């Protein structure tokens, strides 16, 4: 989610909330011998902070049931971002900037990881979509990437077969005399019919070779960063070379192959971006559940004693 003007109210509210919490905390800390979470003010900070944490955790439930009419998903997301952000300073104030005993220490370190991963995730989700849009005009649905990649390989195969078949067709229609002349022809630039026939046979073979040795393996392999076609500059050079070697009739096929390879490159890039865009959730979400669980245990035990 982009943090744009629609977040202004949440931002101002959060700043005010932190300001108020600090304004209450400072005189309390100066007046109290050693402020702790067990004092009345400490308990208020702890309760509000834990409440925010629980609310932030409810986002997962809200996403599971998108049809529930309990506010817009965007509003929930904004609330998750800002209340989750607020919960950390409130919990720090609750513990008077001490991590306490074994349980609370573990909890606070996990919470710190959750907080940091959340901030990182928010930053990634703010900046990455722009990069995504600018660099990946051929993006598709992430889950479709493998399916699309297979289709690209098939499409490239069809294109090459079709082009080569056309050349082979011309060759099969040539007379015996023409084929003999072609066989005896030199490498002179004075192109004769015989030369043309020989040229077509060679071009067809070269195109198939290129497809089988370079294009198809690249399209078949996920990622394939080690292959020549994965590098746009090298790919451009290779296709340029192919255009020089092959007759003009094949140039449109070469251009299509180049486009297919470019699309494959973008799909690979999309896969990588997707990992960055969503990989942090592998840390953020499981640890959030852990901290909520430990927080609940801490709340019960701390209130009891």
Partner 1 sequence: MQRIRTTKERARRIDLMYFARPHWLRRWRFWLSCAIPLAALGWLCTMHAQGGQRVFSAGPLSRSHAVFTKQCALCHLRQAGYFQNVADKACLSCHDAPVHQASQSFTPTCISCHIEHKGSLQLTATADSVCTQCHADLHSREDSLHVAHSISGFSEDHPEFAGLREGSRDPGGIKLNHYLHMQSLLGPNHTRVRLGCEDCHRSPGRDKGAWSYAGVQLQPASSTRDMAGVRSSHDASYMAPPKFVENCAACHLLDFDKRFAEEQVPHDKPEVVHAFLEKRFAEYIATHPGEVHEAVRFDRQIPERPALVRMARDAREWVGFRVEETEDLLWRKTCKECHTLTAAAGPLPEIAKSKITARWMPRAEFRHDSHRMMTCESCHTKVTSSHETPDVLLPSITTCQECHRAQGPTKEFAEGRCFECHQYHNWRNEQRVNGTYDLRQLRGE
Minimum distance between the CB of residue 257 and partner 1, rounded to whole angstroms? 10
- Give the span between the Cα atoms of 233 and 223, in whole angstroms: 17
H helices within the chain, ranges in order? 8-31, 40-64, 73-94, 102-135, 145-172, 176-184, 193-210, 216-220, 232-245, 251-279, 281-304
| 286 is an interface residue for partner 1 by CB under 8 A | yes
Is 16 a binding residue for partner 1 by CB under 8 A? The answer is no
Closest CB 7 distance from partner 1, rounded Å:
25
Query: Which residue among 51, 71, 101, 237 contacts partner 1 (CB under 8 A)?
Result: 101
Choice between 10 and 50, CB closer to partner 1:
50
Residue whose C-alpha is closest to residue 257's, from 204, 201, 219, 228? 219
Note whether 260 binds partner 1 by CB under 8 A: yes
Chain position carrying tokens 């070697």: 245
Nearer to partner 1, 48 or 185 (CB): 48
Binding mask 227-256 for partner 1 (x = CB under 8 A): -------------------------xx--x
Pattern of binders to partner 1 over 17-56, x per CB under 8 A? -------------xxxxx-xxx------------------
Buried b (16+ CB within 10 A) or exposed e, 238-275: bbeebeeebeeebeebbeebbebbbbbbbbbbbeebbe
**Three-state SS string across 79-139, please?**
HHHHHHHHHHHHHHHHCCCCCCCHHHHHHHHHHHHHHHHHHHHHHHHHHHHHHHHHHCCCC
Q: Helix, strand or coil for residue 186? A: coil
Q: Which is nearer to partner 1, 131 or 290 (CB)?
A: 290
CB 167, min distance to partner 1, A = 12
Stretch of 2-10, 48-56, 152-160, 228-236 lying at the interface with partner 1 (CB under 8 A): 152-160
Question: What is the rounded CA–CA span in Å between residue 170 and residue 165?
Answer: 9
Footprint on residues 160-219 left by partner 1 (CB under 8 A): 162-163, 166
Q: What are phi and psi of 150, to 5 degrees?
A: -60, -40
| Shortest Å distance, C-beta 73 to partner 1 | 18
CA atoms within 13 A on the CB side of 183: 7
Q: From the list 110, 153, 219, 254, which residue makes contact with partner 1 (rule: CB under 8 A)?
A: 110
Q: How far is the CB of 80 from partner 1 (least distance, A)?
A: 16
Q: 68 in helix, strand or coil?
A: coil
Q: What is the contact surface with partner 1 in residues (CB under 8 A)?
A: 30-34, 36-38, 98, 100-104, 106, 110, 140-144, 147-148, 151, 155, 158-159, 162-163, 166, 252-253, 256, 259-260, 274-275, 278-279, 281-282, 285-287, 289-290, 292-294, 297-298, 301-305
């Amino acid at each position: 989610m982009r943090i744009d003007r629609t977040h202004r109210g949440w931002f101002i509210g959060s700043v005010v909330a932190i300001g108020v919490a600090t304004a209450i905390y400072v005189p309390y800390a100066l007046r109290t011998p050693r402020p702790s979470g067990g004092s009345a003010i400490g308990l208020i900070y702890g309760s509000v902070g834990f409440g925010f944490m629980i609310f932030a955790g409810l986002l997962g439930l809200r996403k599971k049931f998108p049809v529930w009419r309990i506010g817009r998903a965007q509003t929930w997301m904004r609330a998750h971002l800002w209340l989750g952000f607020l919960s950390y300073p409130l919990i720090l104030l609750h513990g008077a900037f001490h991590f306490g005993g074994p349980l609370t220490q573990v909890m606070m370190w996990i919470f710190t990881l959750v907080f940091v991963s959340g901030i990182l995730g928010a930053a990634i989700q703010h900046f990455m979509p722009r990069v995504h849009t600018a660099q990946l005009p051929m993006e598709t649905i992430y889950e479709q990437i493998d399916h699309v990649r297979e289709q690209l390989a098939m499409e490239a195969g069809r294109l090459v077969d079709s082009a080569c078949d056309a050349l082979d067709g011309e060759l099969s229609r040539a007379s015996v005399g023409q084929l003999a002349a072609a066989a005896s022809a030199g490498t002179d630039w004075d192109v004769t019919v015989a030369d043309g026939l020989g040229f077509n046979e060679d071009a067809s073979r070269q195109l198939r070779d290129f497809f089988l040795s370079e294009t198809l393996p690249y399209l078949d392999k996920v990622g394939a960063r080690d292959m020549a076609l994965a590098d746009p500059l090298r790919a451009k050079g290779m296709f340029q070379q192919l255009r020089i070697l092959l007759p003009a009739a094949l140039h449109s096929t070469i251009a299509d192959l180049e486009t297919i390879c470019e699309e494959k490159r973008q799909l690979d890039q999309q896969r990588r971006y997707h990992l960055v865009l969503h990989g942090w959730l592998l840390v953020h979400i499981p640890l959030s559940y852990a901290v909520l669980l430990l927080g609940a245990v801490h709340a019960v035990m701390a209130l009891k004693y």
